[in-house]
Amino acid sequence: MDTNKLIATYVKIRDARSDAKHKYEETDSKLKDQLKLIEAELMAGMTELNVTSLKTSQGTASRATRTRYWAPDWDEFKNFALENEAFDLFERRIHQSNMREFIEQNPEVVPPIAADSRYSIVVRRGK
């Protein structure tokens, strides 16, 4: 096993992926901007015509309402959820770094969770 060659190849492939990702993100950003311009034009047209959809031989554009919710005060929201027993308002996931920190600071406490630890390879560029 030629570790020098393996690491050099690894760094080269990682750099190529990074370049490809950067080019993709740059192109994708420009395309997204173009889509936003078209969406704005369609929205203006639908508003002017007072319609919620436009059907053509090329496809159909629809205007829909999208609502997002967030809690500006998490402590107040947690209390609200507790008072209303509305725990399904939370997403079911654990904040990874906070859990790791909790376990490190409370080694005697065993939370009811599953954990999976694996070795991984980390390669750093040489000088």
User: What residues does each domain of the chain span?
Assistant: 3-62
| Mean of all residue pLDDT scores within the chain | 95
Residue 121 has a pLDDT of 84
In the chain, pLDDT over 90 holds for what percent of residues? 91
Closest by Cα among 2, 5, 43 to 126: 5
E strands in 16-101: 53-56, 59-62
* Tens digit of each residue's pLDDT (9 = 90 or more) over 75-92: 999 999 999 999 999 998
Alpha carbon distance, N-terminus to C-terminus of the chain: 22
Q: In this structure, how many other beta carbons lie within 10 angstroms of the beta carbon of residue 102? A: 13
For the full predicted model, state whether its pTM sits above 0.85. Answer: no
pLDDT band at 126 (very low <50, low <70, confident <90, very high): confident
Find where tokens 């390879």 sit.
121
**In angstroms, how far is CA 120 from the centroid of its own chain?**
23
Beta bridge partners of 54: 61
